[in-house]
Amino acid sequence: MIHRLHQPDYDRWASQIKRTGGCRQPIHLRGKVEHYDQATGDLLHRYTTRTEPNGVLRVPCKTRRASRCPACAEVYRADTYQLVRAGLVGGKGVPETVSSHPCLFVTLTAPSFGAVHTRREKNGKVLPCHARRDAETCSHGHVMSCTDRHSADDQRLGEPLCPDCYDYNGSVLFNAVSPELWRRFTLALRRRFARLNGLTVKALREQVMISFAKVAEYQRRGVVHFHAVIRLDGPDGPSSPPPAWARADALAEAAQHAAEVVTTEVEPLGRTFRWGTQLDVRRITMDGDLTEQAVAAYIAKYATKAAECVGTLDRRVQPLDNLDELPVREHARRLIAACMRLGSHSGLADLRLVHWAHMLGFRGHFSTKSRRYSTTLGDLRAAREEHMRAEEVSTGRLPLFDEDTVLVIAHWEYAGQGLSIGEQALAAALTGTRLPGPAVMTDE
């Protein structure tokens, strides 16, 4: 810390750090940008990192994972919120008339892979976990009953009543095939919605577009759920109203049906997977109990959570890792072990279970949307970068050039990542962020 403070270029370092917005693990870039006049070939401006502190420019890591970098994850969360919200009420290039389109909020769950400790509430009272009067004793000697009323932070939540009975293979395979199950769900939904309205799928497509935005959420037991916004548009997407006959109740019926009937196979093991029986389909309305703000906030919250909340690893499992020594919950260790075991099965190579073991088999994206749902994260980022560039021009840091007449040549290389312990303390003070806990330097 003292070393950094005494550097002659401390002020420049501090301004770099402020511009990362409190990023906990900024990426160091080495390189240069040159602006040339296209007509004359004259060099108009050159920026190089050679004169920067340590010869590098520090830029935000842009992770979406709050466990790695709260500041960048917050930017991602806010962008996701804006993206989901724009698809519900308009804005960011989506017309406000979209708010009158029929819209659902659907939660698709995973099936059971064995009894786990759970916390359920009824009328504000916590219910016993698994109260069974004639509870069976499993072949491992565990009584399949638990009358505890678990507190919200109870470490046993999500843990199986008997780990030896628990279907760990099923759990990680479900995560692995869930993106395919989702894809089949959307197809079945379209088919059913068309039939309910007496149309073929092709005829439906000419009159109605169905748009989706979804996030995956890990449950404590280590399987993913999906929360999705499903919206009806006219044939040209959010800017066109759906025909009057395209109604929310038929869409809800189609979603219900699709969730019940779709399956996907893991053929080499002869296993079939489907959604869990707990299905939640609700209408999103401007004034009802499920408002667009609530939905956007809910989806954005899960967009920055990965599997760490299950107590698994924040990084890939490496070939030399000793599974027994990984700092994870026993339940997560068994799920990771199932991924490693099934991952060596040649027939399951497509699922890439070893690669995604730390995600407990899930290799999908956390938040996805169909093409016409609303704006994109890329557009939101570009708008923000354009805003920052405009700011730099007005504060005189970048010369103002006409984009069409200037040739820009940039060359960048990765030169490392992170902050020293002393720098972390300075960065926290400079950006008003919390100091991280241990082990924040990463090599990824």
In the complex, which residues of this chain contact Zn ion (CB under 5 A)? 23, 60-61, 69, 72, 117, 129, 138, 140, 142, 146, 148, 162, 164-165
**Smallest separation, CB 263 to Zn ion (Å):** 27
Q: In what order do the strands lie in the sheet with 103-108?
A: 279-283, 103-108, 224-233, 209-218, 367-369
Q: Look at phi and psi of residue 396 and say left if phi exceeds 0, alpha if psi is from -120 to 50, else beta.
A: left
d(CA 318, CA 322): 9
Q: Of 142 and 283, which CB lies nearer to Zn ion in the complex structure? A: 142
**Smallest separation, CB 424 to Zn ion (Å):** 12
Place of tokens 């940039």: 410
Adjacent-strand bridge partners of 279: 108
**Smallest separation, CB 76 to Zn ion (Å):** 10
H or E stretch covering 264? strand 264-266
Q: Of 87 and 114, which CB lies nearer to Zn ion in the complex structure? A: 114
What DSSP designation does 312 have?
-
Are the C-beta atoms of residues 31 and 413 closer than 8 Å to each other? yes
For residue 353, CA distances in Å to 58, 116, 360, 417, 426 come to 34, 23, 8, 28, 41
Other Cβ atoms within 10 Å of 292 Cβ, number: 20
**Smallest separation, CB 331 to Zn ion (Å):** 13
Largest Cα–Cα distance of the chain, in whole Å? 89
Q: Of 31 and 163, which CB lies nearer to Zn ion in the complex structure? A: 163
Specify the 3-state DSSP secondary structure of 122.
Answer: strand
* Sign, CA torsion 118/121/125/130: negative
**Smallest separation, CB 25 to Zn ion (Å):** 6
Q: Of 129 and 177, which CB lies nearer to Zn ion in the complex structure? A: 129
Q: Of 164 and 206, which CB lies nearer to Zn ion in the complex structure? A: 164
Of 106, 98, 368, 369, nearest to 234 by C-alpha is 98
Q: Of 53 and 158, which CB lies nearer to Zn ion in the complex structure? A: 158
Q: Of 161 and 177, which CB lies nearer to Zn ion in the complex structure? A: 161
**Smallest separation, CB 299 to Zn ion (Å):** 22
**Smallest separation, CB 66 to Zn ion (Å):** 10
168 token code pair: 């760990």
